[in-house]
Amino acid sequence: MSLATATAQDALEGTGRVKDLEVTRNRALGTITVDLNLDISDLKVGSDETLILTPVIKNGDMVEKLPAVEIMGRRATIYNQRNDILSATELPFLAQRIAKRAERKNGLKQSVDYTATTRFQEWMRGGEVTVQRGSCGCDPDVVNLGDQQVGGIGNEIYQPSYVVSYLEPEPEPVKVRDESRSAYINFWVDKWDIRENYMDNKRELASVIESIELVKEDEDLTITSITIEGWASPESPEKHNQMLSDNRAESLAKYMTKHTGIARDMISTVGYGENWPGLKAYVEGNKELDNREAILDIIDDKSLSLDDKNNTIAMRFSSTYLYLLKEVYPSLRRNDYRIIYKVRNFDMEEARGLLESNPKKLSVNEIYKVAGSYERGSAEYNRALEVAALTYPEDVAAAVNYAQKQVEKGDLEGALKTLNKTKQESAEVQAVKGYVYLQMQEYDKAREALTKAVDLGSEDAKHNLEEMEKHLASI
């Protein structure tokens, strides 16, 4: 990045001109480079004389000398060539080696292009470039002719202008919602008919019917279907357990029809057989379970049949198996059911009331209409955005808009949590995530997120990535 540029100026007052000064910094390499042109057309050098021009970076008491340029008279040039001796600038009392030698031909137009690179040090920021002038004859004594400033090094850090856009949520013509629950109904061994008075069935069945009736009785809702998934525990043969899970799901469907009036053809059933996912989840979550790791290995062993897995656990770890059989297997015998329903649309007054009482009845679009009815940035407006994100955490528009509000409030970690709940392959999510990391000054993470967003087509991310790189280059 260019830090300074000087127009042609008479910096050496008759002893030469410094033109086209440019100071650049390479942040990746940690270097600073000085480029300039020495116009020596008006310079007069005695035949035995050598003019030593040494570019210097300085700031207060801090000094960095760069390699010098030697402008020699005719006899001085011949003498050095014949004797191949050290130049004045290579003598021990001078720190820098020469960059170039040039023979001055008095009266003719002549210039020397100069470039030198050195390690950038923070103190150089806001400093200046000068040229030290010295002269020597046949003896090594150097006469100091003073120095002149030729340009300054930029001190300003580029202030980036980041952008972030709010998303308009997509309309939801038909609002479809669902309620998912589990019914732990106890069955007699190898039976699938439902017995209301067996164990805790009365309370469990009452809960099933109540959940359906609550939806039925709500005038805003219309049930469109119910799905039932049947699961069995693994202690019996696999084929038998598959049959039990099928039939037990069907039994619950018939019970629902009988006690709620829901037509049977609105209820679909499927039996998933043995509930190994549920068993694995329990074993993984119970860190104190004896033989935990070995049992997990058996569960994950794809070379074993389901019957072999159960039998292997029973034979190798009998005490642990008995514990699972008594304490865990009963909970694996369950029916999961999902009530799917449509929600009617609401006018503004109704939507405002539902925002706090039952926001799930509203679409994200309806919530945003409520937000738009308040002054942008007001407490009511911000609350609506929050409700949208909390109610629909996987919705991209709801997530990115609320995340931006969290950034405005200084809750950067909260913004990341909001964004991480939705799909990461979204250009908008990655763009705003990059924006959050920019606010955190975590530039590597910002670059990663913004690059992903650019690849996915985000113009905001492209702009912010360019602004970030300009800022980093300046510091």
Give tens-digit pLDDT for 422-441. Answer: 988 899 999 999 999 999 99
**What average pLDDT does this structure show over 227-249?**
95
| pLDDT computed for residue 10 by the predictor | 36
Rounded to the nearest integer, the mean pLDDT of the chain is: 86
pLDDT at 220 over 60: yes
Task: Tell whether the model's pLDDT for residue 85 goes beyond 90.
Answer: no
pLDDT of residue 473: 78
- The answer to whether the CB of 14 falls within 8 A of the CB of 90 is no
Whole-number Å distance between alpha carbons of 116 and 129: 12
DSSP 51-119: EEEEEEEEETTEEEEPPEEEEE-HHHHHHHHHHTPPPGGGSTT--PPEEEEEE--TTS--EEEEEEEEE
> How large is the average pLDDT for residues 6-16?
42
* Integer Cα distance of 283 and 262 in angstroms: 38
Q: Which fold has domain 2-152?
A: Immunoglobulin-like (2.60.40)
Which pLDDT score, from 0 to 100, does residue 475 have? 67
- For residue 137, the model assigns a pLDDT of 59
Buried b / exposed e along 402-420 (16+ C-beta atoms within 10 A)? bbbbbbeeeebebbbebbe
Superfamily (CATH) of domain 175-341: OmpA-like domain (3.30.1330.60)
- Distance (Å, rounded) from C-alpha 86 to C-alpha 163? 59
Query: Would the pLDDT of 107 be above 90?
Result: no
pLDDT over 70 (residue 2): no
With cut-offs at 50, 70 and 90, classify the pLDDT of residue 188.
Answer: confident
Q: Are 373 and 352 in contact (CB under 8 A)?
A: yes
- Identify which of 69, 122, 118, 65 has the alpha carbon closest to the alpha carbon of residue 95: 65
- Residue showing tokens 């790189």: 469
d(CA 135, CA 72): 10
Average pLDDT score over residue span 121-149: 70
Residues 139 and 137: their CA atoms lie apart, in Å, by: 5
Q: What is the pTM of this model?
A: 0.59
How large is the average pLDDT for residues 156-181?
A: 86
pLDDT in tens, 267-297: 999 999 999 999 999 999 999 999 999 999 9
| Alpha-carbon torsion (178, 184, 187, 189), positive or negative | positive
Radius of gyration of the chain (CA): 40
Distances (CA, A) of 223 to 213, 218, 220, 297, 353: 10, 10, 10, 43, 23
Looking at the predicted structure, is the pLDDT value of residue 9 above 60?
Answer: no
**Nearest one of 409, 357, 410 to 387, comparing CA atoms:** 357
**DSSP 8-state symbol, 194:** -
Query: What pLDDT score does 191 carry?
Result: 87
**Which homologous superfamily does the CATH classification assign to the domain defined by 363-474?**
Tetratricopeptide repeat domain (1.25.40.10)
Compute the distance between CA of residue 254 and CA of residue 263 in angstroms, rounded to an integer.
Answer: 9
Q: Report the pLDDT averaged over residues 67-91.
A: 70
pLDDT band at 13 (very low <50, low <70, confident <90, very high): very low
Find the range with the poorest average confidence among 93-97, 104-108, 338-342, 448-452.
93-97
Please report the pLDDT score of residue 12 as a whole number. Answer: 37
Tell me the domain boundaries of the chain: 2-152, 175-341, 363-474
**pLDDT band at residue 159 under the 50/70/90 scheme:** confident
Average pLDDT on 398-421 reads 94
Helices (H), 392-426: 396-408, 412-420
State the DSSP code for 199.
Answer: T
Tokens, residue 128 = 């200046």
